[in-house]
Amino acid sequence: MKPNSHNFKLNARHALDDKQLQRALAKVPGGFVSKRADARAALPEFDALRDKARDIKNHTLEHLDLYLEEFERKVTEAGGIVHWASDAAEARAIILDICVMVDARVVTKGKSMISEEIALNDHLEAADLKVVETDLGEYIIQLRGETPSHIIAPAVHLNKDQVEEDFRRVHTNLSPDRQLQEPEQLVGEAREMLREQFIATDVGITGANFLIAETGTSVIVTNEGNGDLTQNLAKTHIVIASIEKAVPTLEDAAAILRVLARSATGQEFSTYTTFSTGPRRPGDPDGPEAYHVVLLDNGRAELLGTEFKEVLRCIRCGACMNHCPVYHSVGGHAYGWVYPGPIGSVLTPSLIGVDEAGPLPNASTFCGRCEDVCPMRIPLPKLMRRWRAREFDKGNPPAKQRFALKAWAFAARRPWLYRMGAGLAMPLMAWRGRSAGRFSSLPFVDGWTAHRDFPAPQGRTFQQKWRAEKRKRSRVSQGRGKS
Amino acid sequence: MTVRATSSSRERILGRIRSSIGVSADEADRRVRSQKRLYDHDAHIIPSRSQKSHLELVHQFEDILIGQAATVRRVSEMTDVSNVIAAYLREHNLPARLRQGLDPRLEEINWSAAPHIDRLTGPAHPDDTAGLSHAFAGVSETGTLVMVSGPANPTTLNFLPETHIVVVSQSEIVGPYEGAWTRVREVFGERTMPRTINMISGPSRTADIEQTLIMGAHGPKRLLVIINQNS
Ligand code: SF4
């Protein structure tokens, strides 16, 4: 997809004004957040497992070349074929070649963020292939011509009445009088429509949550079972995965799986975790006849040598966006590319460049919740700050912001000036905002105050309070000394 | 079959990884370290909930599966399975028909007790209403069935019919996932996997529309797990 991250501010403003979107987003914090908290509470080892998961991935990344070689060797041994793709164009070409070679007309797909990253559907459709997304959320946004707004809940930005409209528009062979108000009816209809596609398909494409070097196995995790129908009913199964999905052993995969579903949906384990190793074996009555794995780099190998390499531990659970106040307010599309939320703010500039994605690392309140919940202990705020520092060095923020920040920095390094400035500003602000107790607009930060109010200071500055407190304490301790 | 010469990309990607890590291709200690890890496949932290007595593990397996919207029944003999299946199909108003693979363990079921049930064999067909499989193992930790592909239990039976019925031997219920890996290595050998292993923890579901949980998204709407205690 064509990136639109440089427009984050404008995108965010539109998102905040979009009533349908705001209605849908209002449901995000409640569900995901409390379910994850419950799952964590039910497993005393959870936080220790997060440390382990981090260590496993760090070890893997330090030996990534070797584990990928082993993975390739074991896939080949099992009768599968591994393809290496340096970038998105190469990956698209490889996949189209396979489809053409097997004379495919219909391609079904399980959910894959990598497929979004390389804009696979457009490429296959341009070659006259019928591409059908089978994950319910992906199916809905495909009907709408949209991209996912969340990495595990692609249609989280929509309400059921919107889905009903889409189904009525597209499923024209069904009775117009049918009932479609309830999610259950919508799910039932999608199930029927997609059944036919699963059966008619030639090629099934899935992503991978893990690539296991020990056995040459790709792993997918779903709740719907669509990924399994996709790969078992097609003659050819193509797995598209980025190189950092590797883990050494089945035990390593098990350890990370223990934190994946709990962090993502708050389930203890997803309904279906599927381990696929090669094509159909002699005597097998079902399963794909050919098994391909396309390994995508697309900038990751290089990223491994930078100060942003920790982001390669990400297992795409979505917890960081589920807990992000910025994501809660603007949703996923505002981020303008494939990966939204805090992970997107770090990954997007790494993958498509900071010139395009510059605003994203600024889309943060630095509240730190993303790092608190990340199962792979990725220091997301620190990495965002690094991008900001680079941005600032390159002279990217607008002059007004640079001036305000410089002025603040100048004063902050000169305590007397800071004291004086803050001491003057505080009563002034308190006076100007005194009637409502907050400001609905402030100079320099109008973007911030357009959609929220800044509380008016109620009294003295922090430094004034600190000094007063110190005086009080020294009086108390002197008093004690006397008695 | 080579689709496209990607060998140059292969070398380029591996080369880039090595230069990023700051190593060369032939550093012996790295190879030894990674090979050792692959062959040792040490377990990491095993949650205490999967380290109980076997009987407690079986109870936990059952409880968690029920919590995940599966139905669980116990039988004291394999022969009794037919009665449980007949009652279940009747209770849910389902056709007296099912499809199964060639697993010899399923041959021990005494079907003469339920002669009205039509039984077909082979991989699933789109119009099958119920599938019957035998699990390879059960994982107590999260109420998870471990299914292995092959003619004995075709993988499509796990996903295509609306009702999935799975028999699991009580003695094959283990605590953690690692317990299942140990058994996989015993049966298939080191560093070898069957074509597909499906871990299944309940009927199919989705929450993609307004985060409302709906059962039966694409896979089975119902899951009946029968624990065979005499095994
Ligand atoms: S950064 Fe962490 S929390 Fe966010 S998606 Fe990745 S693993 Fe999950």
**A20 and A58 assigned to the same domain:** no
Question: A110 CB near a chain B CB, below 8 Å?
Answer: no
User: CA–CA separation, B229 vs B81, rounded Å?
Assistant: 11
Answer whether A233's CB lies under 8 Å from A203's CB.
no
Ligand 1 nearest-atom number relative to CA A321? 4
User: CA–CA separation, B99 vs B161, rounded Å?
Assistant: 9
Question: What is the CB neighbour count within 10 angstroms for residue A173?
Answer: 6
In a domain, A308, yes or no: no
Query: Nearest to residue B226, comparing CAs of B155, B156, B165, B160?
Result: B165
**How would you classify residue B49: left for phi > 0, otherwise alpha for psi between -120 and 50, otherwise beta?**
alpha
Name the pLDDT band for B1 (thresholds 50, 70, 90): very low
More confident site: A386 or A458: A386
The total domain count for chain B is 1
Residue B175 maps to which CATH number? 3.40.50.10420
Which residue, of A257, A277, A302, is where some domain finishes? Answer: A302
More confident site: A338 or A466: A338
**A179 and A283 assigned to the same domain:** yes
Cβ-defined contact of B218 to A66 (cutoff 8 Å): no
The total domain count for chain A is 3
Find where tokens 């902050």 sit. A412
Average confidence (pLDDT) over B89-103: 97
SS3 A135: coil
Residue A231: domain span: 43-302
In a domain, A406, yes or no: no
In a domain, B109, yes or no: yes
DSSP summary character for residue A453:
P
Residue B96: domain span: 49-228
Mutation probe of ligand 1 site: the residue of A310, A316, A347, A384 with most atoms within 8 A of C-beta = A316
Is the pLDDT at B7 greater than 80? The verdict is no
Q: If you measure from the C-alpha of residue A322 to the centroid of ligand 1, how many angstroms do you get, rounded to a whole number?
A: 10
Cβ-defined contact of B154 to A153 (cutoff 8 Å): no
More confident site: A89 or A448: A89
**A18 and A58 assigned to the same domain:** no
Measured in whole angstroms, how far is the alpha carbon of residue B92 from the centre of its chain? 24
In a domain, A134, yes or no: yes
User: CA–CA separation, A70 vs A273, rounded Å?
Assistant: 22
**A217 and A109 assigned to the same domain:** yes
Q: Taking CB atoms and an 8 Å cutoff, what residues of chain A touch B12?
A: 86
Ligand 1 nearest-atom number relative to CA A313? 7
SS3 A412: helix
**A253 and A278 assigned to the same domain:** yes
Cβ-defined contact of B207 to A280 (cutoff 8 Å): no
pLDDT of residue A355: 87
Average confidence (pLDDT) over A206-221: 98
In a domain, A464, yes or no: yes
Residues with CB under 6 A from ligand 1: A 263, 314-320, 343, 374-376, 378
pLDDT of residue A5: 93
Chain segment A67-124, per-residue pLDDT in tens: 999 999 999 999 999 999 999 999 999 999 999 999 999 999 999 999 999 999 999 9
In a domain, A404, yes or no: no
Residue of A23, A50, A275, A304 best to disrupt the B interface, most CBs of B under 10 A: A275
Ligand 1 nearest-atom number relative to CA A342? 4
Write out the H or E segment, with its range, that includes residue B64: helix B54-67
Cβ-defined contact of B144 to A93 (cutoff 8 Å): no
Answer whether B149's CB lies under 8 Å from A282's CB.
no
In a domain, A465, yes or no: yes
User: CA–CA separation, A288 vs B156, rounded Å?
Assistant: 11
In a domain, B9, yes or no: no
**A90 and A230 assigned to the same domain:** yes
Closest residue CA from atom 7 of ligand 1: A314
**A247 and A334 assigned to the same domain:** no
pLDDT of residue A435: 45
Question: A73 CB near a chain B CB, below 8 Å?
Answer: no
C-alpha distance from B198 to closest chain A C-alpha (Å): 5
Chain segment A387-445, per-residue pLDDT in tens: 988 877 776 666 656 666 666 566 666 666 666 666 655 555 555 544 444 444 444 45
**A252 and A359 assigned to the same domain:** no
Write out the H or E segment, with its range, that includes residue B196: strand B196-200
A:B CB pairs within 8 Å: 280
User: CA–CA separation, B53 vs A293, rounded Å?
Assistant: 41
Is the pLDDT at B70 greater than 60? The verdict is yes
Question: A391 CB near a chain B CB, below 8 Å?
Answer: no
Chain segment A34-75, per-residue pLDDT in tens: 999 999 999 999 999 999 999 999 999 999 999 999 999 999
In a domain, A408, yes or no: no
**A442 and A375 assigned to the same domain:** no
In a domain, B8, yes or no: no
In a domain, A164, yes or no: yes
pLDDT of residue A440: 46
**A71 and A151 assigned to the same domain:** yes
**A31 and A51 assigned to the same domain:** no
Cβ-defined contact of A305 to B20 (cutoff 8 Å): yes
pLDDT of residue A436: 45
User: CA–CA separation, A376 vs A50, rounded Å?
Assistant: 6
Chain segment B32-56, per-residue pLDDT in tens: 999 999 999 999 999 999 999 999 9
Nearest-by-CA chain B residue for A257: B177
User: CA–CA separation, B89 vs A183, rounded Å?
Assistant: 26
* Alpha carbon distances (Å) from A277 to A31, A82, B191: 35, 12, 11
User: CA–CA separation, A128 vs A122, rounded Å?
Assistant: 10
Looking at every residue in chain A, the average pLDDT score rounds to: 88
**A326 and A448 assigned to the same domain:** no
Cβ-defined contact of B219 to A224 (cutoff 8 Å): yes
Of B181, B195, B200, the CB nearest to A280: B195
